[in-house]
Structure 1
Amino acid sequence: MSDVLWARGVDLLYGETLAVRNADISLGRGEVVAITGQSGSGKSSLLYCLAGVLPVTRGQVCFAGRSLGDLDDEELSAIRREQFGFVFQYGELLPELTIEENAALPLRLAGQRKAQALTAAAEVLDRLGLAQLRERRPSQVSGGQCQRVAVARALVHKPAVVFADEPTGSLDSVNSTAVLEEFLGLARSQGTAVVLVTHDPQVAARADIRYTMSDGELTEQVREAS
């Protein structure tokens, strides 16, 4: 499997604090990589380096054969907008938009016509069991449903990679399991790779490759048997 995203020797400094040190990581198309560790271990910092949100202090992050550090702001923004998706712990939906409009947002930002974007969003929402909620606003649905909408938004434009930072951390165990299954199932079915940051070993166990992070270092790698 050829790597769609990889990092070699990545360091990240916050002032004099080395938040990430000498990190190596790679993932292929449709592959799920989990980074687990305690709060403050550096796992979210590494995720944002991989996504091109934080510039690395040393080392290199490459997507589709291009070093993110060599790209200008416009090129990097285009990759994040068109090729990457994001899921956060609390969904981060826009309260003034409907569920369908929230899910369609990446397509609208990429310049797709509203009718086409809403149609694509409706199809993804339907796959996640949310078709009947399309016209509601985030305040009118449950936390678990909001997180499913966040998953739909991250996957609607069929990105190459989705970066998920504690995507089920705000949910109870029942909703966490259901959202995670739907998220990873849909991502794998469309060939989207996932970088999944979590403190929960049960969530990490759903990944193809698992890393443990401690004090800024990736200290362990476990690959699931195929």
Structure 2
Amino acid sequence: MISTSEVLTGTAVDLFYGATPAVKAADISLNRGEVSAITGQSGSGKSSLLYCLAGVLPVSRGEVRFEGRVLGELDDEELSALRRERFGFVFQYGELLPELTVEENTALPLRLAGQRKAPALAAAGEVLERLGLSDLRKRRPSQVSGGQSQRVAVARALVHKPAVVFADEPTGSLDSANAAAVLEEFLALARSQGTAVLLVTHDDQVAARADSRYIMCDGKIAAHIREVS
């Protein structure tokens, strides 16, 4: 029986790069408004599993379901629409578009989904204000600091109120003070929207902020720890 709060599941997920297994028989589930972390040593399969769950990498065996739909049964157009409209992404270095302003970068998911410019920028402005970035709206990525750039990446990932945000080492490029601040704002906003967050991290302090932790070793989920509130 599927939990009513469950939004995405991976069941017996295998991923091979040629003959080399990267993920082996992984079971994982994400709940609305909760934060899950994948931890483990470098090369343990953390990022590979995240990209399978996000529909970026096709699984070799097993299945990934989002709101009951099997990702492997979707065609390229359906999968692209799903990633664009229902998922959000935060990467280690932000990956902002240098030619766009901060507010234009933030509004990008809404614009790609067909929303008109004025309401998209208005929505972007609201999220930027919540993250303390209103004064930077007209600046370009080259004119903001690393911590500010990563906050903009968080705003862009959450502006369209996605069901799931996938974050691959979202604070890995920041110093400890900026990392703590960005993570606090990111997770608070995601939880307030009911967005599930799956983050890959090597940092135990980051993983400690999650509701649930999956520990990977040699491509397998070696342990699943759920925090008790």
TM band (smaller chain) = over 0.9
Residue from 208, 211, 227 that aligns with 1:208? 211
Q: Paired residue for 2:58?
A: 55
Q: Paired residue for 1:129?
A: 132
- State whether structure 2 residue 82 is matched by structure 1 residue 79: yes
CA distance in 2, matches of 1:60, 1:153: 28
CA deviation digits over 1:86-142, x for unaligned, max 9? 000000000000000000000000000000000000000000000000000000000
Query: Matched residue pairs, number?
Result: 226
Q: Paired residue for 1:100?
A: 103
Paired amino acid for 1:59: G
CA deviation digits over 1:22-75, x for unaligned, max 9? 000001111110001111111000000000000000000000000000101111
CA distance in 1, matches of 2:201, 2:120: 31
Paired amino acid for 1:219: A
CA distance in 1, matches of 2:21, 2:116: 44
CA distance in 1, matches of 2:196, 2:162: 8
Q: Paired residue for 1:65?
A: 68
CA distance in 1, matches of 2:119, 2:191: 24
Q: Paired residue for 1:37?
A: 40
CA distance in 1, matches of 2:16, 2:185: 36
CA distance in 1, matches of 2:13, 2:217: 15
Query: 1:212 aligns to what SS in structure 2?
Result: strand
Residue from 194, 197, 201 that aligns with 1:191? 194
CA distance in 2, matches of 1:40, 1:137: 35
CA distance in 1, matches of 2:39, 2:63: 21
- State whether structure 2 residue 14 is matched by structure 1 residue 11: yes
CA distance in 1, matches of 2:128, 2:216: 34
Paired amino acid for 2:66: F
Q: Paired residue for 2:225?
A: 222
Q: Paired residue for 2:112?
A: 109
Paired amino acid for 2:202: H
Paired amino acid for 1:48: Y
CA distance in 1, matches of 2:104, 2:41: 35
Q: Paired residue for 1:168?
A: 171
CA distance in 1, matches of 2:40, 2:104: 34
Residue from 23, 26, 35 that aligns with 1:23? 26
- State the 4+ residue runs in structure 1 displaced beyond 2 angstroms: none
The gaps in structure 2 that reach 5 residues or longer are none
RMSD: 0.6
Paired amino acid for 2:189: L
Identity of aligned residues (%): 79
CA distance in 2, matches of 1:80, 1:26: 18
**1:134-153 counterparts in 2 under 5 A?**
134-153=137-156
The gaps in structure 1 that reach 5 residues or longer are none
CA distance in 1, matches of 2:20, 2:205: 30
Query: 1:8 aligns to what SS in structure 2?
Result: strand
Q: Paired residue for 1:181?
A: 184
Paired amino acid for 2:212: I
